Structure formats: structure tokens, C-alpha cells
Amino acid sequence: MSTKKEFWSKLVGEDWYLLFPEFWESSYMTNLLKLLSQRYKQATVFPEQKDIFKAFKLCRVKNFKVLILGQDPYPDGSATGLAFANKDKIKLSPSLQKMYETIERDCYDGLKIVFDESLETWAEQGVLLLNTALTIEKFKTTSHSEYWKVFTKSFLKRLSESHLTGIHVCLWGNHAKSFKPYLNDKTMYIYEALHPASASYNNIDWECNHFKEINVKIVKQNNDLNDIIAW
């Protein structure tokens, strides 16, 4: 029989477990997993159950530099477990298309780049792509938001109180900005902007220079060009 440490280390990675063991082992998390297990049996839920905590597994604590906070997974079946990520490079989601255009403009002077729509390369470099709800039911936007609200608030609060400092946090849109009270603006860099999907739906430019600004600050922090994020 596996221990709680083994159980949670398998789900989120040993490093994230060791950072907040009491959080993962809480009765709230136990009850949340039981509830989710039921919902996966009773309805069509995204992402795949094995990918619920994928954002943590791919972004190791030792590499962690940036937190991009999304809302909830895509409800059409394209959710991967990473906020904003796409499975299909043929037709990017409105949000990711805006992000891609902004990165080309601000970070590569308009040059066309090979873009990783899965965003797994970002995660592996230390970008935690975390939705405020990690699951959703098919075609039912925000259907699991209430399940995850305590999780997100508690995680952000613990992160703000941890020894990890100098983390860059991107809050795009009013939903993400509503979680700002749980962040420590004295030990974190906090960035705010319109949600990229809103810019897309309103057919306007997404005025967000966060990708370039983050890399400029990372170089100043560590005095090492090798530490920047290759968006």
C-alpha cells in the first residue's frame, strides 16, 4: 500500500509534494479527489484524468520562474492539463493565437518562429501553466470552478509565504486578477493585462509585453542570459 507521499509524488511530482506536504495531504484534497473521481464516472470531464496535475509534473520546482494563471480547461476536449495549451497546431485557440503573435512581435522582432502549441517546452523551462480550475465538464464553462476555488486560493497563499521568491506571475483578465489578494507583491513580480481571448473576440491588438518584460527581469535577477524563457 502506497504512502501519502508516494501517492502525491506520483500525481504532482515529489518536489511539489515536499514543498507543501500538509496541503496535498489535507482532508480537502482527499475529498476533492473523491468528488472528481465520481464526476469522471458520471460525466465527460476534461482533461484526461491522468493529466489533471500535469502542470505541476512538467514544471519542476527547481526550474520554477513564472506562473501564468488561466481560468479553466477548454471544454471542447482539447484541454491538455496545461493552461492555454493546444493539442492541434493547425488551428490555435484564440488565446494562444494572440499569445503567439505577441511573442513574435515583442521577442523576435516580428520574425516567424516554430511555436510549441503544447507549451510543454515552456513548462519544462519553469513556467507553471495553472488554471484556477483544473477540470471541466464537456461544453460547460466554469462547471468545476467551485470545486477548485479553495485549492487555488490555498496554493497561491502558500506559494506567497514560501521560500520561493522572485516568481513572475501573469494575471490576464478579471478572473485571474481576482486572485491577486492571495499573492505577495513584495516577493513576487505581478503582471496584469486584458485576457488574450477578450482581445481576440473584440478584434483588437493584445497590448501585453509580459513575455519580453519577464525575460529582461530574469536577466537582471540572475545576470545570466541562459536563464531566460525561450517562448
* 116 catalytic residue (yes or no): no
Q: Which of 127, 131, 152 is nearest to 211 (CA)?
A: 127
Which triple of cell numbers denotes residue 224?
Answer: 545570466
CB 79 within 8 Å of CB 138: no
Phi-psi sector, 204: left (phi>0), alpha (psi -120 to 50), beta: beta
Is 88 in contact with 78 (CB distance < 8 Å)?
Answer: yes
Instruction: Give the residue-averaged pLDDT of 189-198.
Output: 97
Query: What per-residue confidence (pLDDT) applies to 189?
Result: 98
User: In this predicted structure, what is the pLDDT of residue 1?
Assistant: 53
Q: Identify whether the C-beta of residue 94 lies closer than 8 Å to the C-beta of residue 201.
A: yes
Q: What is the CA radius of gyration of the chain?
A: 17
Could you list the residue range(s) of the whole structural domain that residue 82 is in? 4-227
Catalytic residue among 51, 72, 88, 224: 72
CATH code for the domain in which residue 143 is found? 3.40.470.10
For 139-156, write each residue's pLDDT tens digit. 999 999 999 999 999 999
As for how many domains the chain has, the answer is 1
pLDDT digits (tens, 9 = 90+) for 214-229: 999 999 998 888 889 9
